[in-house]
Amino acid sequence: MQTRHAIQIEGLTIVYTSRKQSYTAVHDLSLQVTDGETVGFLGANGAGKTTTIKMLLHFITPTRGRAWLYGVPCEQPRARQKVGYMPEQPYFPRYLTPRELLAAHAALAGVPAHETKYRVELALELARADHFAHRPIGKLSKGMTQRVALAQALVGNPQLLILDEPASGLDPVSRVEMRNVLQVLKEQGKTIFLSSHHLGEVELICDRVAIIHQGRLLAFGAPDELTQQTDRYVIIAEKVNADVERTLRSLCSNVRRDGFQVVAVTHQEQVYEVTHLLAKAQAHLISLVQQRETLEEAFLRIVQSAPVTTFADKAA
Amino acid sequence: MPRAFFALVKLSFLEAVRRQILHVMVLLSLVVMTIAGTVSFFDLGVQVKIVKDTGMVMLLLAGSLSVVFLLSGALFHDIEQRTIYPVLARPIPRGLYLVARYTGALAAVYAGMTLMATTLIALLWVHLHYVSGLAVVAIAFTYLEVALVGALTVLLSTFFAPAMTATLTLFLYLLGSLKMGYLHHLAERNVGFARWVITTTSAALPNMEAFRFKDALVHDLTVPVSYLLLVGVYGICYSAACVALSIWSFGRREV
């Protein structure tokens, strides 16, 4: 049953206890990631994303619950046979070059000796880290180090990639490049489990999204399932004269002229009035579409509607 | 798995040979040994004794201190600097990582010790025009003693922070160096539970003195082969036990 899933988590809970109190960092988390899927793991800082990943990779032992990677219990080393992991803030020995680092990681990942050179070059090229692969890691910028970290995750040709904030601290250009690389990996059929703060990017590449808040899984589904229709409508019209445009500005928000067209956003209550105004002025209504939430809006709605758990509650 | 092990050993070795503490220890020892071997204050017999004595002391001191300082913080810094995560995310047991870390650092210390041992042998050759088998045996057992000190450091580093690890290791090292006569005497003067505690403690502490053949070398004494074998087996078993306990302890630790 479990082998169909790249990741299977059942009731994963971790409680940190000290002498005076205990603190539940992840509470009864259950989810499955199907092979070949790209799943975004979203949550605010301290929500439990990295802790969950640490439990999956057996860096820490859960208090309760279990997890499997391709059907193998995650506490067994062979569970990580098909895994490539990119940590949130990658640190590598500063004196090594990316090429040397990747050669070592190829050996750790079980890549045969005769394939190592090919795998290293392929990973460097895929992560776009090949042009600085001869420089010591200590002399690379943060963006370059992130790419080395991605190459390191890819060098064993893993089927499952666990990426913890891969775009963290990257400039917009590097972020787009990172997204493009992930898109290529997705097209290659890799399973990607991606923890991120950049909701726009997650929305663009993820098949499903899991939202975790204060250690609890609040929602898990496709972005279309998580986002809702709003009460906002986008109106595009042509042949709108200056008087009508002025009236539109009083009824709608975000009115802008785009060539011959006028684009406006209005609320449900004003839709009839706006369309009537346009018809009366003999303007051409090109489209009238109900707007959907962005993933960011859905995330905020879901998180804000969750019951507030104080530190004391969690401790209890 | 052997490739993974050797890749980790290489990484650990490369890191260790870059550490200044190793450079300073080796350089200092070489300087002291060279001074002892080249500056002639005494007649040849005394001079040779001084060369042997100083050489063996420096070899042991530099090797032991280097291995303690290199290994006491290795695990702690790997976790603090998070360099351990990408490695442990690979399909390798934690024990393999720990053993490779130990082996790599020990190999770096051995590289430095080999330089010192070569210097010592060269100085003896210059003075005596031959090198006794006992000199080689004494040097080999110093290597074994350093391996044991390293294993003890690794074991303690799975429980404590670097400063505490280094302090405790050096404390146990000193206790292990002194214990033979003193603890034996103390055990004989006690009875019952107190005697049992002292005897058990004495047995649990590493007997560092057993590895030292400096005096036999300096005074040209003979050491029975059976005793050498016994000490060799003791050293290997004690080191292996420390490493096995470290693997058990590190396997339970959260990183």
Contact between A152 and B86 using a beta-carbon 8 Å cutoff: yes
| Residue burial A130-150, b: 16+ Cβ < 10 Å; e: rest | bebbeeebeebeebbbbbbbb
Tokens of A259: 């060539």
CA distance B184 to B200: 11
Residue B49 and residue B103 in contact, taking contact as beta carbons nearer than 8 Å: no
Using 50, 70 and 90 to split pLDDT, how confident is the model at B48?
Answer: confident
- Supply the ipTM of this predicted assembly: 0.84
Chain B residues with beta carbon closer than 8 angstroms to that of A104: 7-8, 10-11
Q: Which of B4, B7, B86 sits opposite A87 (nearest CB)?
A: B86
In chain A the domains, ranked by start, together with CATH numbers, are 1-82+159-228+293-316 (3.40.50.300), 95-157 (no CATH), 231-292 (3.30.70.980)
Nearest-CA residue of chain A relative to B253? A60
A279-301 confidence digits (pLDDT tens): 888 888 899 998 888 888 889 98
- pLDDT digit string (tens) for A228-278? 888 888 899 888 888 888 888 888 888 888 888 889 888 888 888 888 888
Residue A314 in this model has a pLDDT that exceeds 60: no
Instruction: Name residue B218's amino acid.
Output: V
Q: Please give the pLDDT value at position A1.
A: 45
A92 CB neighbours in chain B (<8 A) are 83, 86
* Main-chain phi, psi angles of A103, to 5 degrees: -65, -40
Kindly list the distances between the CA atom of residue A309 and the CA atoms of A13, A211, A304, in Å, as whole numbers in the listed order.
16, 16, 11
Tell me if A80 and B90 make a contact (CB, 8 A cut-off).
Answer: yes
**What tens digit of pLDDT does each residue of B73-94 get?**
999 999 998 899 999 999 999 9
- Nearest-angstrom CA–CA distance, A176 and A182: 10
The pLDDT > 70 percentage for chain A reads 96
Report yes or no: B121 and B60 within 8 Å, Cβ to Cβ: no
Residue B101 CB burial class (10 angstroms; 0-12, 13-18, ≥19): buried
Domain count for chain B, please give it: 1
Which position has the higher pLDDT, A18 or A127? A127
Contact B91 A60 (CB under 8 A): no
Q: How far is CA B155 from CA B84, B92, B150, B158, in A?
A: 18, 20, 9, 6
In the predicted structure, residue B178 carries a pLDDT above the cut 80 = no
Length reported for chain B: 255
CB A82 within 8 A of CB A70: yes
Range of the domain at B241: 2-252
Question: A311 pLDDT exceeds 60?
Answer: no
